[in-house]
Structure 1
Amino acid sequence: MSNNHDQQYTDVLTDIELPLENRRVGKVRVSYELPNGQRLFVTTDRLSAFDQIMATVPMKGQVLNQLAKWWFDNTRDIVANHALSMPDPNVLIAIAAQPLPVEVIVRGYITGVTSTSLWKRYEDGARDIYGYAFPDGLKKNQQLPAAIVTPTTKAEMGQHDEALTCDQVVDQGLVEPELWAEVQRVALALFARGQQVAQRAGLILADTKYEFGLDSQGKLLLIDEMHTPDSSRFWDAESFPERFANGLEPISMDKEIIRRALADAGYKGDGPPPQLDESVWLETSKRYTSAYEVLTGQKFVPGERPITERIKRNLQGVMGL
């Protein structure tokens, strides 16, 4: 293995400090305020599962940032989004939006291992989930008759998201009725587009998470990320029918490999997570880069190392750092 290849897998971006105002740290992204109603987002290599940061995955931040930008550019006909420019493989400059206080999950299949997932609740005996009535006899990873919107609260770091029904979003005053109707319509249209693109790439988009916000004029914007292996479940389409028929888990191109490894180790999201073998993290990295390539049709080219130095160099011209 060459030194350059070694560095790709050993130089990971955990955090970054920039001389900018109003620093905010999320599970995966660090953001700063820019002039003119803009924010700068740096996507790190951190991976969160069960609402906790677990570790870093090589090249993950670059994959997420570049893939989200690709999707943003290719869905503007459905809804406006916050993306403005990408001055570095890990950096997005975006419109500073006021986020809506709900996460909008669209599901096309009944699956998942976390507490807010459809399958976990169904397996535990629930049949009225997120305000939808589910029949007996469903199997894990089965396709639903139609995609459904299942909102959750937006939890603080380390807290768990809580399930909501679409009615509760309005009844609790989280989102105005007309705006919530538009959000649902847009989310389902985005999901349909995502499924079309995934199908062409030999993948199934099983479910995904969207976040929305309002710009300074009150216009709806898609924010955060879109159809990435962090926010979505992507399965290999060719092997899916046989694996489903035999009760096997789909081959996933997302962070489900981490979720399953943690769940198999008995972890349910409370307390420190168990140590996972390094091979699990490297395999996750390869699946992320593979998902980028098949979805976009573009070869993934790792950015120059060291990452932090490259980011600061690329941002000098943008903001006079």
Structure 2
Amino acid sequence: MNTITDTNFNFPGQKSLYKGKVREVYNINNEQLVMVATDRLSAFDVVMPKGIPYKGQILNQIATKMMQATEDLVPNWLIATPDPNVAVGHLCTPFKVEMVIRGYLSGHAAREYKAGKRMLCGVTMPEGMKENDKFPNPIITPATKADMGDHDEDISREDILKKGIVSEADYSVLEDYTRKLFQRGSEIAASRGLILVDTKYEFGKTQDGQIVLIDEIHTPDSSRYFYADGYQERQDRGEAQKQLSKEFVRQWLIANNFQGLEGQTVPEMSDDYIQTVSERYIELYENITGETFVKGDVTDIQNRIKTHVEAYLNG
């Protein structure tokens, strides 16, 4: 299973390299960023030891399609995609918060709710809800952006403004863009028989001061999807929802006694299980885009990416 889990290119005009949990970002001449989506899998803010075949390509291609489908609403950083795993965009200064928006009581919100909490990031959650119920209105629950290996942390709008992490004027734009993107993402999902349950968006400022959407959007790493068909029946019967997201990996890890806590060891992922994860990612790609997934050539991924990016940078 050929995967790409680490890169160390030296592109023309390269100024620096930043390695995130999944993506590696190359600064070209302090003007453009070349972002390589690797096959690394991160869960509970821990990068798993093995890569997932085609995961980087899937994330990159979904994000590209979703940025193109929302660019009439919200400007984004994207310029080109010279390789299945690569996006090239404008150099931006990222805001140090992730804008998480939730339409349903699921995942982290459901775990907090189950623990008796009714306030998340300064937002009150209604009494009497059960896991995977729809909120009366989507709620924005931001998180501070963590460095690799650290945990993202919940934060309220009030604390973001009080600590000066984002100015009030800019934060109002982030909230407006977040709600617009979630509405459009929900409409796209509904047209494919899916429910966009929750997601996160990241934003940055271009060198001329424009706030733009950056990183990924509506991918299985940043979003949770349910199948719309049978959703209400499953809720009424108290059954788990059929979902397409990274949550199935989290649940597998929890079942194997791992939640990223101190002293815990990442369980061994067999080749068969990794293949299953890859197939789930492909399933989500095909469901959310409505297109058949075309696997990139993985005989020599490093050289393929290098060749494509250098051809692009050299014009």
TM bin, normalised by shorter chain, reads over 0.9
Give the total of aligned pairs. Answer: 308
1:38, 1:191 → 2: CA distance?
27
What are the Cα deviations for residues 64-112 of structure 1, in whole angstroms up to 9, with x where unaligned? 0011011111111111101100000001111110000101100000111
Alignment counterpart, residue 274 of structure 1, candidates 239, 264, 267: 267
Question: Structure 1-normalised TM-score?
Answer: 0.92
Alignment counterpart, residue 79 of structure 1, candidates 74, 81, 94: 74
Alignment counterpart, residue 151 of structure 1, candidates 142, 145, 153: 142
Q: Percent identity?
A: 38
Tell me the residue number matched to 1:46.
40
Tell me the residue number matched to 2:197.
206
How far the C-alpha of 1:265 sits from its partner, in A, is 1.8
Could you tell which deviates more after superposition, 262-271 or 276-285? 276-285
What are the Cα deviations for residues 292-313 of structure 1, in whole angstroms up to 9, with x where unaligned? 2222222210111221221122
What are the Cα deviations for residues 236-285 of structure 1, in whole angstroms up to 9, with x where unaligned? 11132222222222222121110000112221212431123444322221
AA paired with 2:75?
A
Tell me the residue number matched to 1:101.
96
Contact kept in structure 2, 1:253 and 1:287, CA below 8 Å: yes
Q: Determine whether 1:24 maps to 2:18.
A: yes
Q: Determine whether 1:228 maps to 2:222.
A: no
Contact kept in structure 2, 1:261 and 1:276, CA below 8 Å: no
The answer for unaligned runs of 5 or more in structure 1 is: 1-9
What are the Cα deviations for residues 6-29 of structure 1, in whole angstroms up to 9, with x where unaligned? xxxx01111122113301111001
1:142, 1:244 → 2: CA distance?
7
User: Partner of 1:24: helix, strand, or coil?
Assistant: strand
User: Partner of 1:15: helix, strand, or coil?
Assistant: coil
Could you tell which deviates more after superposition, 124-133 or 57-66? 124-133
Tell me the residue number matched to 2:291.
298
The answer for unaligned runs of 5 or more in structure 2 is: none
AA paired with 1:145?
P
User: Partner of 2:104: helix, strand, or coil?
Assistant: strand
User: Partner of 2:284: helix, strand, or coil?
Assistant: helix
Tell me the residue number matched to 1:4.
none
1:315, 1:100 → 2: CA distance?
27
Tell me the residue number matched to 1:185.
176
Alignment counterpart, residue 253 of structure 2, candidates 253, 256, 262: 262
Tell me the residue number matched to 2:60.
65
1:169, 1:93 → 2: CA distance?
30
What are the Cα deviations for residues 116-174 of structure 1, in whole angstroms up to 9, with x where unaligned? x2111111111122112223321111110011111011111111111111121111111
Tell me the residue number matched to 1:7.
none
Tell me the residue number matched to 1:163.
154
Q: What's the C-alpha RMSD, in Å, of the aligned pairs? A: 1.5
User: Partner of 2:153: helix, strand, or coil?
Assistant: coil
AA paired with 1:106?
I
Cα 1:279–1:236, aligned 2, differ >3 Å: closer, same or farther?
farther
Q: Determine whether 1:111 maps to 2:106.
A: yes
Contact kept in structure 2, 1:254 and 1:284, CA below 8 Å: no
Alignment counterpart, residue 129 of structure 2, candidates 128, 132, 138: 138
How far the C-alpha of 1:315 sits from its partner, in A, is 2.2
User: Partner of 2:195: helix, strand, or coil?
Assistant: strand
